[in-house]
Chains A and B, each alone.
Chain A
Amino acid sequence: MSESAPTRGRIHQLPPSVADAIAAGEVVERPASVVKELVENALDAGARRVTIEVEGGGLERIAVADDGLGIAAEELALAFSRHATSKIDTVGDLARISTLGFRGEALASIGAVAAVEAVSRPAGVGAAARVTVRGAVVTGPGPAPGAPGTAVTVRDLFGTTPARRAFLRQPRAEAAACVRVAAEAALARPDVAVEVRSEGRRSLTTPGSGQLRDAVRAVFGAAAAQGCRPVELEHEGLRVTGLVGSPAVARASREACVLLVNGRRVHQRGLQVAVENAFRGLLPAGRYPLAVLDVRCDPSRVDVNVHPTKREVRFTDERVAFAAVERACWAAVRGSEPFHLALASGLSPGGKELAALGPPAAWAAAPLPLPAPGASPGTGPGFREEGAAPPPRPLGLEEARHWRPLGQALDQYLVVETGSGVAILDQHAAHEKVLYWGFLEGLRIAEEAAPAAAPAPSQVLLMPDLIDLPPQLVAAFPTQASLLAGVGFDLELFGETSLRCTAVPAGLPAARVAALVEALLAEGLATGALSASERHHRLAAVLACHAAVRFGDRLSPEGIRRLLDDLADTPGGLTCPHGRPTVLLLGDRELRHAFGRS
């Protein structure tokens, strides 16, 4: 490393293009930022229909067209200069912002880092006008054909700042981010029809019917739209409205929780926690609620000019906002349903095994009374006075070893005493998980043909079993034979349409052999194209499901004990291979609450 003395340059004013490019960096981080700014402009212009097109992840082209008020030809060029806006006039206006945009920066920033063309035709005017912007230099306006409204096309984004391009993610990820931004804008304004096309294909179409549920249906799907409940609550001058999804439609990430403040999409950690609080006890780890909520208040109570991209806002009283959101969600979700038991959270056995949860009916117990009128706010069960909820206490299932079995209920559930309360286990799900891991190991070993490994435990049948199968499954047998041997089957061809089975995996009840072999072969056929691990997972799941104890099987005390011990040894014992819970916990504290003590 050579020593170099600092060289003295002259202080000088940066040319506008450089200054703009620097400033632009704050506003235009990635293609999705461009989409957000243009869509907000469209909405502020009173559009009823907004169409967004994205190509090359947004780097090649972004086009946003609307049918709003448009921009007059003489103002079009000015719109692209810095600090030019129609939305505020005085500092006092900042305290009363009613539009999404107000800084007058967005178009200028975009023009500094891309090639932009804007065509706009104000209502009542015959001709449209067109300007182009490159490197902050504006050309135009000239006449052009155009529909009433505004159409902005952004090409070659970050073409002059390759360093910024290098930091972006893959085009597909950037395109997905653009679609998400548009989707959130559509959710904020269900009265606007939004269409998004990515790489030429339609990604999203909302009808603009004015019904939030229709927008939710378009963005999240019909199932989600059906599983949502309306939210409507007033609390100390704040009004929270929207839709919140029942636990059955919860998602695997926080992205499905869309929060708006006065119609503006924000990423407000505090409010997010408020929503999750309302769902505490209803969702397992790794599942987050689906919600679209708008917190409305007088603009003077919230400062939106806090963050460069307006991602966060500041309330004059943060706690009131928090409480309003939490109460609103709680009322919507719990108000009409029976009380749900808390599920142990913590150990999450590898995300992909958690599939969609079963219907809420699976969770029912006694109904919980709503707080009595006149009770002071924030004292109902589950409420907190202060901000964030304490992190959930992880409960390892290793403790199952120490659980004391109390008995079997309805030949379906096992009831045990834990160190801090009572637990109820689904006997089939629990046994299934235990067996699943065993089979998975066996399959893996068989695939790798590890010579020194012990063969899977199998038991020889007293009477060899004849299994009749449809011709296509018999044809599939030879390719599956080694896998089946790996889990303990001994099968051979015995006719055009039958197999002969002389040994089965240990513990498999004889009556289920035929159904199991058929299911395995069918599964093997169907999953032939998948990766080895995915195939093993599916086969092991089928095996486990067939081999495990059923609802209706009576277990002996030794059997229960053995199951608990095995469960303690099984990784991810919290859920069965299909993602359903194996155990429900009733902690002492929850019991006390439920009984009205404390």
Chain B
Amino acid sequence: MSAAEGGRAGRPGSADTPAVAQYEAAKMAHPDAIVLFRLGDFFEIFGEDARRAAGICGLTLTSRDFGRAGRRPMCGVPHHSVEVHLKRLLDSGCTVAICDQIEPASAARGVVRRAVTRILTPGTVVDGALLASDRSQRCVAVVAEGDVVGVAALDVSTGDCQLLETEGGLEGAALAEELERLDAAELLLAEGVHLGEGVVPSARRTRRSVAEMEAATARAHLETVVGRGRLVAAGVTDWAVAQAAAGALLRYCAAARLQVPGGFLRLRARSPEQTMRLDSATRRNLELVEPSTPSGRSLLQLLDDTRTPPGGRRLRAWVQEPLRTLAAIRERQDAIFELLEERGARAGLREGLRSCRDLDRLVGRCVQGLASPRDLTALQGTLAALPAVAAAAGSLASPLSRWTAAALEGVDGQLVATLAAALVEDPPATSREGGFIRTGFDPELDSVRAGSREARAFISGLEASERTRTGIRSLKVGFNRVFGYYLEVPNAHRDRLPPDYVRKQTLVGAERYITAELKEQETIVLSARERSVARELECLRTLQATVAGAADQLMAAADGLATLDALQSLAETADRLGWVRPAMDDSRCLEIRQGRHPLVEAALGPGRFVPNDVDLDGDQQRIVVLTGPNMAGKSTFLRQVAIITLLAHLGAPVPAAAARIGLVDRIFTRVGAHDELAAGRSTFMVEMAEMATILATATPASLLVLDEIGRGTSTYDGLSIAQAIVEYLHENPAVAARTCFATHYHELTALTTTLRSVRNYRVEVVEEGEGPGARITFLHRIVPGGADRSYGIHVAELAGLPPPVIERARTLLAGLEADRPLSPAPLPQEQLALPLAPAHPVVAELGALDLDQVTPLAALRKLAEWQATLGPPSRE
């Protein structure tokens, strides 16, 4: 450990103990990390680190003498339960450096050698205990060159590495969407690169020096590690910025002492347009992967009936990446519906999947040399279960299922046999003490074990032979952890001992002795034990290498398993909840009969959710204006239209009696108030900003779901803005998207008289009685027609405002309505006459003409000019 000397050069006085020197060296090399220093059975933390760690993990803070540095604070954790504390440290933003013993304690001369073996950050963990099983935790590097941003996202536990490039710089929406979708746990950014606060706030941002993220050298590094061929195969040769990001990522992993061999990396090119783009508001509003309340459920949670962790992760990916082509959608639909119908096969499949473990990550650990004996047993069990799963999948006819079955069958049966022959039934949790390799697998191990056995048998046989030699019939051979092997003689026969008996231990009624011969055999036993442990570790490494050698086939099988699991989960959920197959085509229609919001339905309980229809044909009926009181179900209806459309684009069944949906390229939602006061933006500002994005990027193939636009400002402003937006969506062919527009401005119901593609719908309300005592019931049914009132005062009354307030409000309302009737009479329609084309030059000139300065003759001349410009008038 030459580094030990580095920090101490030139200091006078007594030297630190070697262990202290090791610690200081490690800490100097990683000043920002919490250093865990292995001492015996514990990991110890010192100094400021100890204070932080004690606070985070709830450890007792004590102190330890550090030689010249005096007493320093210290806390420790036992090595076998370190994972729990590691997780806490990582979750609270710390980086952890593990300084572990790199040779067995028994082999050391002097102080045991130690080195920093791992540096743990949220994006570089591979330990099962530190990883969430239901999602990937990716390490993502972001590099910007001008407007182009390159992103490389690596899941270190499986080797999956996605490369992509986005336009629009670091502020671009596409970048933010992709980073969210990737479940980034850690973002690598160069010094001075600024990514907005709102982008994936939960990810740890790690600053790297500019040199470490320098593009050209990073690209070169990438090519060195993976080879040009793989870059070509992945199709990323033209993506220079993304390659730079990937190279920077690999450098970071190397610095974290993480093994990422070139062969392990599975490069994938990804374009944001490959799947339906979902912005953060849509993901939140539709509760795709996160529920909106802690006690609620997300859509993913509702759909997730997977049997394996990779299946759960695959489903999570699918939910965030709806498909865009009919072929892909129909392929999934075919597979899911077949699984839905073939209940026997599905039950068999689920049963087989139950025995499969996290194949992706197990193989990943083997490739990185980090797999434990139990990991290998889990791998063996999974591989052994594959034929059953393949058989169940093979009995299905759909192409997707058959493809996955083929992937499963590609695994070499020899590997399972090797693992079964090598590993004992129930290996211990750690490899440190050996005891996991079967006898008969490795000749060298067998011979070491045999030698040990012979020595022990000899010792055991000494009992009989010493009894004969000494004539002491009650002599016994024994073993004890502290003193080792011994010959035990009761005190009564003490006088008959041969001279070569050396006393080792005294008991009440007997004494224990050793002889030279016994000692010799004992030494053989002890050394054999060490050698057998070392040999077992070598066998473990060999087995890991064997698995790593088959990584390609195994990862293909893992991919097939994950796909199958996700498919069966969707089929199972749909069967249980009674969902149907939507008809998909490339029209602009959106027809849903008796649609339901899956999460609200599940929360309400059976029979309570009122199903509703929507019927858009993209032409005569393209924009729905939905009016009615609050709390009556407008938002739920809007959300369910969006969710059903999204589910249809996953290839999944939908909660409806029937559905026919034309392909949608993007779903935009603007539902519910989202105050960002903390960021200095008011609700209304946020709303307008979101609308601006929507109006700028929507296409005729998009689906717009807009709720209460114009709320958050004064009534007239809001109403005007809302109407203008509807008209814009109606008139402008570039934004001729299917739209559901919910509003509390029932004045907008008049638009159907002038805009032919707009239809009115309202929420049905039943009124019993008249005037103040009237009771209203919301039926939650959406029916054609416009609402003629707001029922706002009724809702306020329901909410419990005091009767005098309600009375007064009613009176005021009556007055307002009498003065200016806000109801059905349409607003002046002059706005429609405004030219939407850019102004004609003549008009511009006219506008610029200063009438005060021009003479009548000049004016007449101008008129003649303009007449000439406009051409001869048409005479009928």
Contacts and interface: CB of A to CB of B under 8 A. Distances in A.
A161 interface: no
A177 B549 CA distance: 56
B610 A147 contact: yes
Contacts of A142: 768, 777
Contact of A500 (B434, B460, B578, B764): B460
B478 interface: yes
Interface in B644-699: none
Given A146-B610, A207-B575, A468 B347 contact: no
- Most chain B C-beta atoms within 10 Å of own C-beta, residue among A53, A146, A147, A500: A147
Given A142-B768, A143-B777, A145-B780, A497 B435 contact: yes
Contacts of B456: 466, 494-495, 498
Q: Which 10 A-B pairs have the closest CB atoms?
A: A65-B607, A151-B607, A51-B606, A65-B606, A143-B766, A145-B780, A470-B435, A494-B479, A143-B777, A471-B435
B433 to A, nearest CB: 5
A36 interface: no
A214 B346 CA distance: 11
A214 B479 contact: no
Contacts of A217: 343-344, 347
Contacts of A225: 344, 347
B42 interface: no
Contacts of B578: 49, 193, 208
A495 B779 contact: no
Contacts of A151: 606-608
13 contacts: A53-B605, A65-B605, A127-B764, A127-B779, A128-B779, A144-B777, A144-B779, A209-B343, A213-B344, A226-B344, A472-B428, A498-B456, A500-B479
Interface string B362-397: 000000000000000000000000000000000000
Contacts of A472: 426, 428, 435
B50 interface: no
A495 B456 CA distance: 8
Contacts of B434: 471
A179 to B, nearest CB: 15
B424 interface: yes
A142 B778 CA distance: 12
A195 B578 CA distance: 11
A470 B426 contact: yes
Contacts of A205: 576
A27 to B, nearest CB: 23
- Most chain A C-beta atoms within 10 Å of own C-beta, residue among B427, B460, B609: B460
B606 A63 contact: yes
A347 interface: no
Interface size class of A (residues with CB under 8 A): 35 or more
A18 interface: no
Contacts of B706: none
A119 interface: yes
Contacts of B436: 470
Given A127-B766, A207-B575, 10 more contacts: A51-B607, A53-B606, A151-B607, A466-B456, A472-B428, A472-B435, A493-B479, A494-B479, A495-B456, A495-B479
B607 A147 contact: yes
A339 to B, nearest CB: 30
Contact of B525 (A51, A65, A495): A495
Interface string B111-130: 00000000000000000000
Contact of B777 (A51, A145, A195, A214): A145
B786 interface: no
A494 B779 contact: no
Contact of A126 (B433, B608, B768, B781): B781
A495 B433 CA distance: 14
Interface string A464-505: 101010111000000000000000000011111110100000
B529 A147 contact: no
Interface in A181-211: 193, 195, 205, 207-209, 211
Contacts of B781: 126-127, 145
B610 A468 contact: no
B343 A207 contact: yes
- Most chain B C-beta atoms within 10 Å of own C-beta, residue among A53, A225, A471, A495: A495
Interface in B347-361: 347-348, 351
A462 B348 CA distance: 53
Nearest to B767: A143
Nearest to A221: B347
B814 interface: no
Contacts of A213: 344
A395 B609 CA distance: 62
Interface string B705-726: 0000000000000000000000
A222 interface: yes
A109 interface: no
Contacts, number: 116
A522 interface: yes
Contacts of B424: 470
Contacts of A146: 607-608, 610
A471 B341 CA distance: 50
Interface string B127-160: 0000000000000000000000000000000000
A199 to B, nearest CB: 14
B783 interface: yes
Nearest to A472: B428
Given A126-B764, A127-B766, A471-B428, A145 B347 contact: no
A149 B433 CA distance: 66
Interface string B384-428: 000000000000000000000000000000000000000010111
Contacts of A211: 343
B225 interface: no
A150 interface: yes
A466 B460 contact: yes
Nearest to A193: B578
A189 B428 CA distance: 51
Contacts of A53: 605-606
A148 B348 CA distance: 35
A142 B463 CA distance: 95
A143 B766 CA distance: 7
B582 interface: no
A63 B607 CA distance: 9
A432 interface: no
Contacts of A276: none
Contacts of B479: 492-495, 500
A222 B347 contact: yes
B607 A145 contact: no
B611 interface: yes
A217 B576 CA distance: 14
Contacts of A105: none
Interface string B329-347: 0000000000001011001
A566 interface: no
Contacts of B478: 492, 494
A46 to B, nearest CB: 15
B457 interface: yes
B453 interface: yes
B433 A466 contact: no
A127 B779 CA distance: 7
Contacts of A492: 478-479
B575 A126 contact: no
Nearest to A475: B428
Interface in A141-183: 142-151
A294 interface: no
A304 to B, nearest CB: 29
A20 interface: no
Given A217-B343, A471-B428, A126 B609 contact: no
Interface in A40-89: 49, 51, 53, 63, 65-66
Nearest to B577: A195
Contact of B783 (A126, A149, A209): A126
A525 to B, nearest CB: 9
Interface in A99-131: 119, 126-128
